[in-house]
Amino acid sequence: MNSMHQFEKSKRLLIMKGGGIKGIAYVGALEVLEEYYDFYWFAGTSAGAISAVLLGSGLSVDELKSILMNKNFNEFKDAQFFRKLYNLATKKGLYEANTFTKWLEKELSKKLETSNQVTLDMLQNRVSVYASTRGKEALIFDSKDARTKDTPAAHAVRCSMSIPLIFTPQYKDGLMVFDGGAQNNYPVEILIKNNPNSNFIGLYLGPEHFEGYKKKSILGELLSIWTESIDFVALRKYENNTVIIDTRPISTLKFKLTDIEKEFLLEAGRLASLKFLIKKGKINKNDQRLKDFENRKINLEQTRQKLNNKVSKKKNQIKTFFWASIILSTIGILFWSLMLGNSKKESEDGSFSITVFVHGKDGKDDLILKNEGSVVLDFGNTRESERVNGEGESTFKEIPIKYLGHKAHLFIEHPQPYVSANPDSSYILVKNKPLYLEVFLRGINKISGRVWDFKTENVIDSVRVSVQNVATYTDEFGWFDLEIPPGKQSKFLKVNFFKEGFIMEDIDSIAPHTGQPIEISLKRSR
């Protein structure tokens, strides 16, 4: 008989630390631990919160493994370059992670076989999710707490994984909510304080042994104080209850993992749990896993070294690219200094003018802005702005002659989100030579939103959403995303909503560039 069957399973609370993408290691750890323990309560922060809610829904470890191993986590980074800049400036984070929320809602509703949005109190096991907000030791979403049990489970997890500046913060009672790791990355201390005498096992992502304090920048030191100080206290206090999983060199934000990296994380979790069980005396000396442990540990460290080499190589490539850019830029500056040396020796008296033509993507004659907005000209330490006239041009007069031949940058200012098509381009100021600035209206290639039943206030699936015969359908949660092809893009759109049994709706003047989701309720036709 296998040695694992000589022990009766003990009931335990499972606490999981945050750690971003490295949370896959928890699956490997649970593959081993579930043979000895029966977990009835799942608690976690960030990545730990994701696993906690999925396990709390009743998913088996094998089911959780299948979901995570087949998921492309890079999809959660749901914004391109310009959208990221816009999100950071207006929403305080690069990514809104709506794709994450939809994915988690779908997995939970599929497991619980419901067409409704899954709230915490619908989960089969108790779940506690930790986030951070101002004025509180922690923001806790608990499926047994009357104050939070009706919170949508996916929203609670989204709050817990709101890594500052990476994912946009969520809101609770008017205050911004951030990643739980800011206050309770390994939430064992606060959980045990609120629930004394709870028997638990903790899963912690970090080095197995103290390796000294590495030299960091001031920002790095502040971040360590902010996110790790409580961790060290908890580890010292609860070391005998904690499975420490060393996932280095996988980084928290490495969302695009190879199969080798995923298997490395799983094996790191398995071996960490085996080591924990060996220390607990739960695996006897005849167990084959004990005999294989050292060989597996050696193989894991060999894989770790290969991954370390890969990371070091990439860092060296980045350093090489950085210094090459510096050197080439310096050579370029010296070259232009030599080329323009004669002109700089000329008299700095007098001035010249520059005309800038503002046009669209169809060429220099596509004057999409007439009597709208202003062109900003940056040269030297000077910034000037001129209105776009009825001919689609801006004229800058009396530019000092000393800037002749200098580089300049052009930008567009407009109440609507018009931006330069080539924001990093520079222009040389030359007498009697006009400049051409191509602009476009950002964010008009997509609309999204949700459709509700006016009477029941439930979401409606399979609603046809169309713009000029370009159509899509709402999913089972009522959400839709409609890509608008270039030939049909406009500052304002007319959107049609249709489903059999409901009154068809047409909404005029939808402005896709605002990025705001469309919320619409359809009335039944009978």
3: confidence class by pLDDT, cuts 50, 70, 90? very low
> pLDDT for 316-370, tens place per residue?
888 888 888 888 888 888 877 776 654 444 444 588 888 999 888 888 888 888 8
Parallel, antiparallel or unpaired: strands 446-453 and 518-522: parallel
CA distance 352 to 13: 76
Has residue 496 got a pLDDT over 80? yes
Residue 120 in contact with residue 476, Cβ under 8 Å? no
Q: Which of 46, 51, 132, 160 is catalytic?
A: 46
The separation between the first and the last C-alpha atoms of the chain, rounded to the nearest angstrom, is 66
- Please state, for a pLDDT cut of 90, what percent of the chain lies above it: 36
> pLDDT for 467-495, tens place per residue?
998 999 999 999 999 998 877 877 788 99
CA distance 158 to 119: 13
Q: Which of 78, 142, 179, 231 is catalytic?
A: 179
Q: Which residues partner with 465 through β-bridges?
A: 472, 497
Q: What DSSP element (H or E) covers 13?
A: strand 10-16
CA distance 389 to 355: 11
Two structure tokens written together for 275: 């080591």
Burial 233-256 (b: 16+ CB within 10 A, else e): ebbeebeebbbbbbbebbebebee
Using DSSP, state whether 357 is helix, strand or coil: strand
453: confidence class by pLDDT, cuts 50, 70, 90? very high
179 carries an active-site annotation = yes
Mean of the per-residue pLDDT values of the chain: 85
pLDDT at 227: 47
Two structure tokens written together for 252: 């928290």
Minimal CA–CA distance to 475: which of 461, 463, 464?
461
Minimal CA–CA distance to 180: which of 163, 205, 197?
163
Query: Cis bond leading into 249, ω under 30°?
Result: yes
Minimal CA–CA distance to 33: which of 59, 11, 18?
11
CA distance 146 to 137: 19
Residue 271 in contact with residue 289, Cβ under 8 Å? no
